[in-house]
Structure 1
Amino acid sequence: MKIAIISVSDKGFELSKILKNKLDDDSTIIKTDLYHKDVKKQFPILFYEYDAIIAIMASGILIRSIAPLIESKISDPAILNIDDNGNFAISTLSGHLGGANNLTEKIASLIDATPVITTSTDVNKRLGIDVLAKDLYLSIDNTKEILFFNKSILEGKEISFFINPDKNFDYLFEYLNDNTLEIDISINFSSKINTDEIHVQLDGHKLVLKERKVVVGLGCKRGKSCEDLYDGLKCSISELNIHISRINELCSAEIKKNEKGMLDLSNKLNIPINFVELDKLKLFESDDIQKSEFVKSKFGIYGVCEPSALIMAGFDSKLIYKKTSYNGVTIAIAISKN
């Protein structure tokens, strides 16, 4: 997640600096940029450049600033509102699909604030279908149906899920098992369903949830074992709450194609691994990757795990876990746009 923090007062700016320092240590936060004052000028830019905006200002200023920019719960960024004293963190826009509710909980814990969340499914301790999709990195084909399914969940109706029996959906079963008191679901199997889809049905209404491609980029010192790589992978996906069965692909640079540890990890997990050509890595550019002069001097590329993951996840993909080191192993995770 790329976050912009914008403040109005000097006190708010000091709070934003404290918050940035804390967020920079979080591997799930790709970058955090600070902006101060010039709210009218800044918001129209920030709204389309960041996944989330944290506004440290009065709610009236925030609401008037974003009102002309709001388009859809599918595309709008997460918006949080924090007062100058850091007493309250308020989820203001895109609570579910945009991730504002989860981010609000995170931010509140970092600055010892009270989180304020008002979405109906959350206050009634029910699991929204859009929350499930967000948590499991699934796209939704017909977002207009979200309201119907969430209303049905609030009313306690049973939702029917249809999945392909030949696909490993452990990630879905574990997730639902952890939320058994929040949603009533029946699981049905059909070989007619695509293996990367989950069909949701009730009373003639239907949603198709489709897996976005989750790609783990790997880097390591020469000779690192499968166990070393596996330990790093487990730590990273734990931070993202991703079940290992949800990973679609492993990857690295072609200079690592003979690393036994990587090949063994692919076999151990039964997840395919691909190696990206050096020419592609040399040409790849992104403001989000961490550039290493050491790697550049040795291999002619600025990085391994982050650019490899972004390339293999496809055009317009994004990082959801920045390069993080674990005892000689580096992990980065990217996700496809759709």
Structure 2
Amino acid sequence: MKIAIISVSKKGQDLALKLKEKLDHDSTVIRTDLYHKNVKKYFPILFQEYDSIIAIMASGILIRSIAPLIESKATDPAILNIDDNGNFVISTLSGHLGGANKLTEKIAKLIDATPVITTSTDVNKKLGIDVIAKDLYLSIDNTSEILFFNKAILEGKEISFEVNPNKNFDYLYEYLNSVTLEIDVSIEFSSKVNTNEIHVKHDSHKIILKEREIVVGIGCRRGKECEKIYSAFKKSIDDLNIHESRVNMLTSAEIKKDEKGILELSKHLDKPVYFVELDKIKLFESKDIQKSEFVKSKFGIYGVCEPSALITAGFDSELIYKKTSYDGVTIAVAISKD
């Protein structure tokens, strides 16, 4: 998640600085940038560049600034509103698909504030279909149907999930069993459903949830044991609340293609591993990648796990877990656009 924090007062700016310091230590936050004043100038830029915008200002200023920019719940960034004193964190826009509700809870804990969430499914302790998609990193083929399905869930009606019996959907079953919000679901099996899809049905309506490719990039010291690499892998996906069965692929640089620990992990998890050519990594550019002069001096590239993950996840992919070190192992996680 790339976050912009924008403030208009000195008090708000001080709060923004304190919040950035805390978020910089969160591996699920790829970067946090600060902006101050000039809201009319900055907001159109922030809408295009960031996943989430935290506005520390009066709600009137925020609403007037973003009103002309709002397009769709499928594309608009998450917008949070915080007062100058940091008393309240309000989920203002894109609560589910954009992740504003979850981010509101996180930010409120960080600054000891009261979270304010008003979406109907949340306040009624129901599980929205768009929440499922966001939590499980799934795309939705027809976002206009979200309202119909969430209304049906609010009314306590049964929703049918249809999946392919030949695919491991443990991540879905565990999620539905562990979630505390209410939803009445039946599971059906059909070989006609693509293995990377979940068909959601009620009456004559249908939504297709499709897995976005989750790729775990791995870097490690020479000879690192599989157990140590697995431990780092597990800590990372646990931070993201991703079940092992939801991970699609492992990746690293070609200099690691004979690394026994990585190959054993691929076999243990029953996940393919792709080793990216060094020339591809050398040519790859992204402002979200952390550059290591040490790695550059040894291998001629600035990093292993982050560029490998982004390249393998495909064009326009994004990091959802920045490079994090675990006792000689580095992990980064990228996700495909669709």
- Quickly name the TM-score band, shorter chain normalised: over 0.9
CA distance in 2, matches of 1:236, 1:31: 17
Q: Please name the residue that 2:57 is paired with.
A: 57
CA distance in 1, matches of 2:130, 2:306: 28
* Structural mapping, 1:123-134, within 5 Å: 123-134=123-134
CA distance in 2, matches of 1:6, 1:258: 47
Q: Which runs of 4+ in 1 moved over 2 A?
A: none
For residues 48-71 of structure 1, give each alpha carbon's deviation from its aligned partner in whole angstroms, at most 9, with x where no partner exists: 110000000000000000000000
CA distance in 2, matches of 1:51, 1:179: 25
Q: Please name the residue that 2:42 is paired with.
A: 42
1:16 equivalent to 2:8? Answer no
Q: Please name the residue that 1:220 is paired with.
A: 220
Q: Please name the residue that 1:147 is paired with.
A: 147
Q: Please name the residue that 2:176 is paired with.
A: 176
Deviation at 1:180, TM superposition (A): 6.6
Could you state the TM-score of these two structures normalised by the residue count of structure 2?
A: 0.99
Unaligned 5+ runs, structure 2: none
CA distance in 2, matches of 1:51, 1:102: 13
CA distance in 2, matches of 1:24, 1:55: 18
Q: What RMSD in Å do the two structures reach over aligned CA positions?
A: 0.6
The answer (yes or no) to whether the contact 2:2–2:51 under 8 Å persists in 1 is yes
* Structural mapping, 1:295-310, within 5 Å: 295-310=295-310
Identity %: 79
Deviation at 1:130, TM superposition (A): 0.2
Deviation at 1:97, TM superposition (A): 0.2
* Structural mapping, 1:191-230, within 5 Å: 191-230=191-230
CA distance in 2, matches of 1:179, 1:281: 39
Paired AA for residue 277 in structure 1 = E
Could you state the TM-score of these two structures normalised by the residue count of structure 1?
A: 0.99
Question: SS at 1:32's partner residue?
Answer: strand
Q: Please name the residue that 1:259 is paired with.
A: 259
The answer (yes or no) to whether the contact 2:127–2:181 under 8 Å persists in 1 is no
Q: Please name the residue that 1:287 is paired with.
A: 287
* Structural mapping, 1:87-98, within 5 Å: 87-98=87-98
Deviation at 1:181, TM superposition (A): 5.4
Question: SS at 1:148's partner residue?
Answer: helix
For residues 62-105 of structure 1, give each alpha carbon's deviation from its aligned partner in whole angstroms, at most 9, with x where no partner exists: 00000000000000000000000000000000000000000000
Q: Please name the residue that 1:119 is paired with.
A: 119
CA distance in 1, matches of 2:180, 2:245: 20
Paired AA for residue 319 in structure 1 = L
Question: SS at 1:150's partner residue?
Answer: helix
Paired AA for residue 96 in structure 1 = H
For residues 291-313 of structure 1, give each alpha carbon's deviation from its aligned partner in whole angstroms, at most 9, with x where no partner exists: 00111111111100000000000
Q: Please name the residue that 1:66 is paired with.
A: 66
CA distance in 1, matches of 2:272, 2:165: 20
Deviation at 1:331, TM superposition (A): 0.3
1:159 equivalent to 2:159? Answer yes
Deviation at 1:252, TM superposition (A): 0.0
Paired AA for residue 33 in structure 2 = D
The answer (yes or no) to whether the contact 2:7–2:57 under 8 Å persists in 1 is yes
Change (3 A) 1:204 1:184: same
1:105 equivalent to 2:109? Answer no
Paired AA for residue 236 in structure 1 = S
Unaligned 5+ runs, structure 1: none
Deviation at 1:179, TM superposition (A): 2.6
CA distance in 1, matches of 2:4, 2:113: 19
Paired AA for residue 184 in structure 2 = D
For residues 99-153 of structure 1, give each alpha carbon's deviation from its aligned partner in whole angstroms, at most 9, with x where no partner exists: 0000000000000000000000000000000000000000000111000000000
Question: SS at 1:194's partner residue?
Answer: coil
The number of residues matched between the two structures is: 338
For residues 137-194 of structure 1, give each alpha carbon's deviation from its aligned partner in whole angstroms, at most 9, with x where no partner exists: 0000011100000000000000001000000000000000013751010000000100
For residues 237-290 of structure 1, give each alpha carbon's deviation from its aligned partner in whole angstroms, at most 9, with x where no partner exists: 111000000000000000000000000000000001010000000000000000
Change (3 A) 1:180 1:39: closer
